[in-house]
């Protein structure tokens, strides 16, 4: 991009661009999504002037390029942000356009910046009222109740969650927080979504829900079990408890059951293996399907409908676990444990479970976390697991 004399004679950094574009969206009642995929140096931003509400059975394959943001409640509509403007950033700078939408966006931004004298801290949408969950005693009681139901045979696993309200630091900077998350968690999807419909959500999630590469290769994962990660640990020597191994195996079986429902037998499964996700370790198995070989071009959409919500965020079997959470969890998860990600960006679909996320309010933030409960669960340990998961974002926000 040409240098803008009214702003500075120096090169504009990506953080200034991102802050300007977020502000432009909020000031004009548009929606904005910023993200960075795992193990990818590129950051992406789209502005959407007219978000769409999508039903559960919407076909991803028919959507224009954009970003999807869906709540935990599978019966509620997803919010889709078609890309009216799209930008890509690499190595701290705005990348030259490589497709028509980036070319028009690039030209539009150049014109906008001609009248900008300086850059401001990014603003974001907030909601005035939101629900939060109860304190420690109530959560451990909820876990105990879940174990009792497992002992009765109601379900094999359930994933109760809770929230934590924190104060945002003075001068909180959403763009700097996003950058900090990118630096801290290279193996996660880092995202910031802000719209009048959803409010503002910041997250760092390791869990792929549905990935479709070049309309040809489908991927998903089974991710469960949690331990703290300490730098230098030999992942091959990590020991997992029977409870954690069984918890992850339940998620694997859930994925396989979804394949069976649609008679997909030609899939590759690798794992489980220990993986690092920020300050945590998990057990992970990878599933891959050659969509062209089985002639199933809509596998991404079909599996998304079947997988969400996964047993990793709800429980198994799904229906009794979901009913238990709706009756006993005591608050609305909103977009926590829903799903999100770019659709048809660089000819790929990358949708993740919305874990390790926070909802941003005016001067506070709500952190969300859950823990997988099986028959071997100890309530105090599950409480501690949610505390560790809160730290994924808390450690970054406190430094923003």
Q: In angstroms, rounded to a whole number, what is the distance separating the alpha carbons of residues 392 and 365?
A: 14
Write the burial class of residue 5 (CB in 10 Å: 0-12 exposed, 13-18 middle, 19+ buried).
exposed
Helix axes 100-113, 14-27, angle to 10 degrees: 90
Range 306-328 burial, b when 16+ CB lie within 10 A, else e? bbbbbbbbbbbbbebbbebbeee
E strands along the chain, which residues? Answer: 31-36, 43-48, 52-54, 66-70, 78-82, 85-90, 93-94, 157-158, 161-167, 189-195, 199-205, 208-213, 217-228, 268-277, 280-290, 315-316, 339-345, 348-353, 357-360, 364-370
User: Other CB atoms closer than 10 Å to residue 153's CB: what's the count?
Assistant: 8
CATH number of the domain that 277 lies in?
A: 3.60.120.10
Per-residue pLDDT of the chain (400 residues; tens, 9 = 90+): 443 334 443 479 999 999 999 999 999 999 999 999 999 999 999 999 999 999 988 999 999 999 999 999 999 999 999 999 999 999 999 999 999 999 999 999 999 998 887 889 999 999 876 777 766 679 999 999 999 999 999 999 999 999 999 999 998 999 999 999 999 999 999 999 999 999 999 999 999 999 999 999 999 999 999 999 988 899 999 999 999 999 999 999 999 999 999 999 999 999 999 999 888 899 999 999 999 999 999 999 999 999 999 989 999 999 999 999 999 999 999 999 999 999 999 999 999 999 999 999 989 999 999 999 999 999 999 999 999 999 989 888 876 6
Residue 8: what pLDDT? Answer: 42
Backbone dihedral region for residue 95 (phi beyond 0: left; psi -120 to 50: alpha; all else: beta): beta
59 domain-assigned = no
Q: Give the range of the structural domain holding residue 245, as residue numbers without chain letter.
A: 136-168+218-333+354-397
Residue 7: what pLDDT? Answer: 46
Residue 5: what pLDDT? Answer: 38
Q: In angstroms, rounded to a whole number, what is the distance separating the alpha carbons of residues 211 and 154?
A: 32
For residue 131 the two structure tokens come to: 């629900």
15 domain-assigned = no
Residue 134: what pLDDT? Answer: 65
128 domain-assigned = no
370 domain-assigned = yes
User: Other CB atoms closer than 10 Å to residue 104's CB: what's the count?
Assistant: 14
Provide the domain count of the chain.
Answer: 1
| 252 within 8 A of 272, measured Cβ to Cβ | yes
DSSP string, 127-184: -S-------HHHHHHHHHHHHHHHHHTS-SEE--EEEEEEEPPTT--HHHHHHHHHHH
129 domain-assigned = no
Range 379-395 burial, b when 16+ CB lie within 10 A, else e? beebbebbbbbbbbbbe
pTM: 0.94
Q: In angstroms, rounded to a whole number, what is the distance separating the alpha carbons of residues 183 and 394?
A: 15
Angle at 47 between CA 369 and CA 188, to 5 degrees: 35
158 domain-assigned = yes
29 domain-assigned = no
Residue 278: what pLDDT? Answer: 80
CA neighbor of 33 nearest in space, from 45, 51, 20:
45
Question: What is the SS3 string spanning 172-185?
Answer: CCHHHHHHHHHHHC
Contacts of 232 (CB under 8 A, 6+ apart): none
285 domain-assigned = yes
């Amino acid at each position: 991009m040409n240098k803008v004399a009214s702003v500075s004679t120096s090169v504009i950094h990506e953080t200034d661009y991102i802050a300007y574009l977020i502000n432009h969206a909020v000031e004009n009642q548009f929606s904005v999504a910023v993200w960075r995929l795992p193990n990818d140096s590129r950051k992406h931003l789209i502005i959407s002037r007219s978000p769409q509400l999508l039903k559960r059975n919407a076909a991803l394959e028919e959507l224009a390029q954009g970003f999807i943001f869906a709540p935990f409640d599978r019966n509620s509509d997803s919010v889709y942000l078609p890309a009216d403007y799209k930008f890509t950033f690499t190595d701290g700078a705005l990348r030259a356009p490589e497709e028509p939408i980036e070319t028009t966006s690039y030209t539009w931004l150049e014109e906008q910046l001609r009248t900008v004298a300086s850059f401001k801290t990014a603003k974001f949408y907030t909601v005035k009222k939101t629900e939060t969950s109860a304190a420690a005693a109530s959560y451990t009681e909820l876990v105990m109740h879940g174990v009792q139901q497992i002992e009765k045979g109601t379900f094999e696993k359930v994933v109760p969650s809770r929230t934590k309200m924190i104060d945002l630091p003075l001068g909180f900077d959403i763009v700097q927080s996003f950058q900090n998350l990118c630096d801290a968690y290279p193996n996660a999807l880092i995202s910031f979504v802000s719209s009048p419909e959803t409010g503002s959500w910041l997250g760092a999630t390791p869990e792929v829900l549905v990935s479709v590469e070049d309309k040809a290769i489908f991927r998903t994962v089974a991710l469960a079990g949690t331990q703290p990660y300490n730098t230098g640990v030999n992942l091959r020597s990590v020991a997992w408890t029977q409870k954690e191994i069984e918890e992850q195996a339940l998620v694997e079986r859930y994925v396989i059951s979804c394949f069976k429902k649609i008679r997909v037998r030609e899939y590759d499964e690798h794992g489980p293996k220990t993986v690092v996700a920020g300050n945590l370790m998990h057990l992970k198995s990878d599933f891959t399907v050659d969509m062209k070989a089985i002639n199933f071009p809509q596998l991404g959409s079909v599996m998304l409908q079947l997988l969400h919500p996964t047993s990793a965020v709800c429980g198994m079997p799904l229906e009794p676990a979901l009913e238990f959470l709706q009756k006993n969890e005591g608050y609305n998860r909103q977009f926590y444990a829903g799903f999100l990600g770019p659709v048809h960006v660089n000819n790929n679909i990358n949708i993740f479970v919305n874990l390790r996320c926070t909802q941003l309010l005016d001067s506070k933030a709500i952190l969300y976390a859950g823990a997988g409960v099986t028959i071997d669960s100890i309530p105090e340990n599950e409480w501690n697991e949610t505390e560790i998961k809160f730290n994924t974002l808390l450690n970054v926000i406190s430094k923003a």
